[in-house]
Amino acid sequence: MVDTAVAETAIGREPRRRVPRLNVLTGVVCGLILAGAGWGVSSWLLSAGDYGADRVVSITMVCWAVGFLVGVGALAGPIRWLLGRDLSVADEHVLAGKDQGVGRYFRFTTDHKVVGVQYLVLSMTLFGVGGLLAMLIRTQLIRPGARFVSPQTYNTIVGMHGIIMIIGTIIMVSGPFGNFILPIMIGARDMAFPRLNALSFWLICAAVPVLLATFFFGGIPTGWSVYAPLSDQAPAGMDCFLITIIIFAISSGIAGVNITTTAVKMRARGMTWTRTPIFVFGTVSSVALGVIAFPMFMAAMVLEGLNRTTGTVFYDAAHGGSAWLYAHLFWLMGHPEVYVILLPAFAAVLELTPVFARKPLFSFLGAVTGIAGIIGLSMFVWAHHMFISGWAPALDGPFMLTTELISIPTGLLILVLLGTLWRGTVWMRLPVMATFAMLWNFIIGGITGIYLSDVPVDQAMHGSMFVTAHFHFTLMGGALTGFAGALAYWFPKMTGRMLDERLGMIGFWIIQIGFNVTFLGMFAVGLAGQPRRVADYPSLFATGNLVSSIGAYIIGSGALIYLYAVVHSWRHGRRAPGNPWGAKTLEWQVPTPVPLENFTVLPVVTSDFYGYGEGGSAAPTPAPRRIAAPVPSGAAATTQEGGTA
């Protein structure tokens, strides 16, 4: 016999106390209170001496972050566990946001689908702020001699634009779609570590105000790369910057471990690696690379923080330090970070292209090999950023070779995309537009990257606007375009609404036209010799800069249209069917909106998901809305026994 009261308590049907419904507002209040306390105490005890201001600012920002996390409820679970009152099943349902409506998006919520939507909104917010700063940059450079902002303010705007957009692009695919889509795609009911999943998001939310506070503490005069020893001499805004990077590195490490564990250990029965969707490979490769790379930047910022608050001299050559130490730590992160951004976006495009080409992915093995090759070589190319630094000239040749070699696996992914489109019955909808635009943009970015990998060319072009145009064609033209396609593709599943294709198409192509105008103009002035990160320039470069500024305003107008399409469709769009694209992967086989635990019966996979056009018409045929139903052509089946991950 089982005691009924004990059983009900054990399963948590009616918990004695609910999880405190803390939210972002309580987080802000708690963060401000603790930050004020930290400011007061540190000002009283530590403000004297050469490093007093840096100590006070650093302690205040750390107190804000800790207070915000406590106030939003991020630490409620660990605290209750330490007190011997771990969460019951009903408490876990509350924590997952069950039956809480819109309010769950403003709380520490463990449901991976909520976290995915939170990441999506955060990414788009960061792009809005970063895009506004880009408009300020191009307004300053619209003509020679413009004085829209002071040179010091301009330097801060350039640096802040850079780091905000880098953070935004790092999380833009692996955050929203790696959280919302990936677990359903592999047949799992949640992430491996739901609380850590939510923590990774709220850590970034805690870091964003710290980063924006940089403007109020003198800014950063160094650009987003914050090279030492210039960063040693920067005002207190640099302390805000380095605290932001440390928090973000912790967040990305947590997210990377969580996504990797989920994909490795929680795939549905029968989902072997050869049957795993290509988006999973791209996302896991990206976050796993981030787990290796981002601690390098974190270590650089920790050492910089010690320099600024305790007087150490890690980067001061006059006292035994080395600026090369910083350069190595930064670029050991800085170049792999390009592929952390690019791989999930590329994988998303590889995922959606077979759906709209209505044919199998051209060489699944080739795509996986390309991803693996990029990951392997990405750790051996960082020093091409240091060709003119004077460090180890004898190694210029080997690093030139590795940088050129990485174009081979990257080109392999391009060939897989082209092969998938070749002679396919392409369904010309908004998501697949990203495939065509990404091919154009990324090929330009890739070819110009090969030029810059050559030592003599790099010596001529290093630090010029040519470099700025190159990495924007790679990161914005390639990765951000891939994000736009992924958003249009998975928007119906994430929101339950169809994206307005007419407005989306208009906004998308205006962005693409403006983008090419902007950065082709930068290629021109870069080839003519204009340096980057300057607030003024000679009249020789006036025409190219005017063209680039006009292009930037075109991008801005297109982005506003695309944003309006997203927001309007999210609120008022046509309700989406369960599988509007006739896709075969598992996320399209569950109802829309997706149930709390995704699957009532765990699926069993019996073949791969790219058998389009096999045994029937190649035309798109939406699948019926059934939970874990067998997909067309036998790509997946279900079992009433549930099965194990």
Which tens digits make up the pLDDT trace of 22-59?
899 999 999 999 999 999 999 999 988 889 999 999 99
Give the domain-ending residue among 514, 537, 572.
Answer: 572
CA angle 524, 475, 145 (to 5 degrees): 40
How big is the chain by its Cα radius of gyration, in Å?
Answer: 25
Q: Is the pLDDT of residue 13 over 90?
A: no
> What total of structural domains would you count in the chain?
2
Q: Is 194:217 a contact under the CB 8 Å cutoff?
A: no
User: Quick one: 298 and 210 in the same domain?
Assistant: yes
Helix, strand, coil percent values for the chain (each to nearest 5): 70, 0, 30
Which token pair is 55? 């100590």
User: Quick one: 51 and 138 in the same domain?
Assistant: no
Q: Is 193:255 a contact under the CB 8 Å cutoff?
A: no
Q: Is the pLDDT of residue 641 over 90?
A: no
Q: Is the pLDDT of residue 617 over 50?
A: no
Burial class (CB in 10 A: 0-12, 13-18, 19+), 26: middle
Give the domain-ending residue among 552, 572, 592.
Answer: 572
Residue 56 domain-assigned (yes or no): yes
Burial class (CB in 10 A: 0-12, 13-18, 19+), 601: middle
Confidence of residue 20 (pLDDT cuts 50, 70, 90): low
Q: Is 612:360 a contact under the CB 8 Å cutoff?
A: yes
> Which 3 state secondary structure label does DSSP give 375?
helix
Residue 203 domain-assigned (yes or no): yes
Confidence of residue 18 (pLDDT cuts 50, 70, 90): low
Question: Higher model confidence: residue 1 or residue 376?
Answer: 376
Sign of CA dihedral 523, 528, 532, 537: negative
Q: Is the pLDDT of residue 315 over 70?
A: yes
Q: How many CB atoms lie within 10 A of CB 20?
A: 12
pLDDT of residue 444: 96
Residue 529 domain-assigned (yes or no): yes
Q: In the beta sheet, which residues pair with residue 575?
A: 497
Which token pair is 324? 């090369």
Which residue reads 């081979």 in tokens? 408
Q: What is the DSSP letter of 234?
A: S
Burial class (CB in 10 A: 0-12, 13-18, 19+), 575: exposed
pLDDT digits over 190-245, tens only? 999 999 999 999 999 999 999 999 999 999 988 899 999 999 999 999 999 999 99
Q: Is 627:591 a contact under the CB 8 Å cutoff?
A: yes
Peptide bond into 593 cis (omega under 30): yes
Which residues contact residue 311 at a Cβ distance below 8 angstroms, ignoring those fewer than 6 apart?
A: 50, 51
Residue 445 domain-assigned (yes or no): yes
Sign of CA dihedral 604, 605, 606, 611: positive
Which residues contact residue 449 at a Cβ distance below 8 angstroms, ignoring those fewer than 6 apart?
A: 403, 407, 470, 474
> Which 3 state secondary structure label does DSSP give 575?
strand
User: Quick one: 40 and 122 in the same domain?
Assistant: no
Whole-prediction pTM: 0.92
User: Quick one: 35 and 151 in the same domain?
Assistant: no
Distance CA 537, CA 525 (A): 10
Q: Is the pLDDT of residue 282 over 60?
A: yes
Domain ranges, residue 139? 110-572
Q: In the beta sheet, which residues pair with residue 638?
A: 603
Distance CA 402, CA 413 (A): 18
Q: Is the pLDDT of residue 17 over 80?
A: no
Q: How many CB atoms lie within 10 A of CB 91?
A: 20
Burial 518-550 (b: 16+ CB within 10 A, else e): bbbbbbbbbeeebebbebebeeebbebbbbbbe
pLDDT of residue 19: 55
Distance CA 534, CA 158 (A): 9
Please give the single-letter amino acid code of residue 263: A
User: Quick one: 248 and 348 in the same domain?
Assistant: yes
Which token pair is 367? 């795509």
Residue 612 domain-assigned (yes or no): no
Distance CA 626, CA 607 (A): 19
Q: Is 345:338 a contact under the CB 8 Å cutoff?
A: no
Q: Is 592:626 a contact under the CB 8 Å cutoff?
A: no
309-313's contacts with Cβ under 8 Å and 24+ in sequence apart are 309/51, 309/54, 309/55, 309/58, 309/239, 310/51, 311/50, 311/51
User: Quick one: 281 and 221 in the same domain?
Assistant: yes
> How far is Cα of residue 147 from the mean position of the Cα atoms in its chain?
34
**Mean pLDDT confidence for 63-76:** 94
User: Quick one: 177 and 214 in the same domain?
Assistant: yes
pLDDT of residue 562: 97
Residue 591 domain-assigned (yes or no): no
Residue 604 domain-assigned (yes or no): no
User: Quick one: 80 and 145 in the same domain?
Assistant: no
Distance CA 137, CA 368 (A): 39
User: Quick one: 41 and 175 in the same domain?
Assistant: no
Residue 592 domain-assigned (yes or no): no
Q: Is the pLDDT of residue 622 over 70?
A: no
Distance CA 492, CA 474 (A): 28
pLDDT of residue 9: 42
Q: Is 370:412 a contact under the CB 8 Å cutoff?
A: yes
User: Quick one: 134 and 14 in the same domain?
Assistant: no
Distance CA 55, CA 47 (A): 7
Q: Is the pLDDT of residue 626 over 60?
A: no
Q: Is the pLDDT of residue 64 over 70?
A: yes
Which token pair is 339? 């592929």
- CATH code at position 183: 1.20.210.10
User: Quick one: 17 and 70 in the same domain?
Assistant: yes
Which token pair is 387? 């060709």
Q: Is 336:289 a contact under the CB 8 Å cutoff?
A: yes
Give the domain-ending residue among 57, 92, 127.
Answer: 92
User: Quick one: 218 and 307 in the same domain?
Assistant: yes
Distance CA 378, CA 118 (A): 30
